[in-house]
Amino acid sequence: MTNTTVHLAVYDTLADWETGHATAWLARAGFTVRTVGPVAGEPVTTLAGLRIVPDLPLGDLRPEDSALLILPGADTYDEGDALAPFTAKARAFLDAGVPVAAICGATAGLAREGLLDDRAHTGAASFHLAATGYRGAGRYVEADAVTDGDLITAGPTEPVAFAREIFARLGAYEGKRDAWYRLFHDSDPAAFAELNAREA
């Protein structure tokens, strides 16, 4: 992969815990993480009350400048159409063959956009997505995280599985993803040594 810039969508009420594993460990693997907000220079406030000033506005984001778009969950996905521009951008990414990773409420946004109708996916719960009126219920998978081509989805309790699927799609931590997952998901102490072992 030649492009190593990953874009993280940021907006009011984003769920802080859902993307930290992915973004921190992508940065450690040499990727650049840039934040994308609704308006240039206008801070957003997370569920924890943290203020983030986005690196660039959504309108300036182009699929060809990115390796991946990450959409975290947010309460505002179920409170109207304020985040519809982000799911429309996800469509542009997928149409261009650039991967998108969505977790929790962002999967409901993708459902409303019609992006889950023909792709295997998961989310917070099947009934949550069904409430959007989408036509993809038959493609819902009861799993921690699901990858279907360029689309990765996960529920709100699975940030580690979400990160693992992102790493796999981007080719990060080849040979060490299993150890990474066992360390952070299963608290396996043996995985720490495997993850940190130097290559021979």
In the chain, the number of structural domains is: 1
Instruction: With respect to residue 36, please indicate whether it lies within any of the assigned structural domains.
Output: yes
Residues present in the chain in total:
200
- Cβ atoms of residues 147 and 161 within 8 Å: no
Mean per-residue pLDDT, 14-25: 97
* pLDDT at position 40: 82
Instruction: With respect to residue 119, please indicate whether it lies within any of the assigned structural domains.
Output: yes
Instruction: With respect to residue 85, please indicate whether it lies within any of the assigned structural domains.
Output: yes
**H or E stretch covering 168:** helix 159-170
Q: Is the Cα torsion angle 87, 91, 96, 99 positive or negative in sign?
A: positive
**Annotated catalytic residue within 104, 170, 172, 179:** 104
Q: Is the pLDDT of residue 198 over 80?
A: no
pLDDT tens per residue, range 121-169: 999 999 999 999 999 999 999 999 999 999 999 999 999 999 999 999 9
The Cα–Cα gap between 80 and 9 comes to 17
Instruction: With respect to residue 91, please indicate whether it lies within any of the assigned structural domains.
Output: yes
The Cα–Cα gap between 197 and 191 comes to 10
pTM above 0.85, yes or no: yes
The Cα–Cα gap between 91 and 150 comes to 11
* pLDDT at position 38: 96
Instruction: With respect to residue 191, please indicate whether it lies within any of the assigned structural domains.
Output: no
DSSP-derived secondary structure for 133-145 = T-S-GGGB--SSE
**What is the CATH classification number for the domain harbouring 13?**
3.40.50.880
Residue 44, domain extent: 5-173
Instruction: With respect to residue 155, please indicate whether it lies within any of the assigned structural domains.
Output: yes
* pLDDT at position 1: 52
Instruction: With respect to residue 114, please indicate whether it lies within any of the assigned structural domains.
Output: yes
- Cβ atoms of residues 54 and 35 within 8 Å: yes
Can 104 be counted among the known catalytic residues? yes
Instruction: With respect to residue 192, please indicate whether it lies within any of the assigned structural domains.
Output: no
- Cβ atoms of residues 134 and 117 within 8 Å: yes
- Cβ atoms of residues 25 and 57 within 8 Å: no
* b/e map 38-61, b = 16+ CB within 10 Å: beeeeebebbeeeebebbeebeeb
- Cβ atoms of residues 99 and 151 within 8 Å: yes
pLDDT tens per residue, range 31-53: 999 999 999 889 999 999 999 99
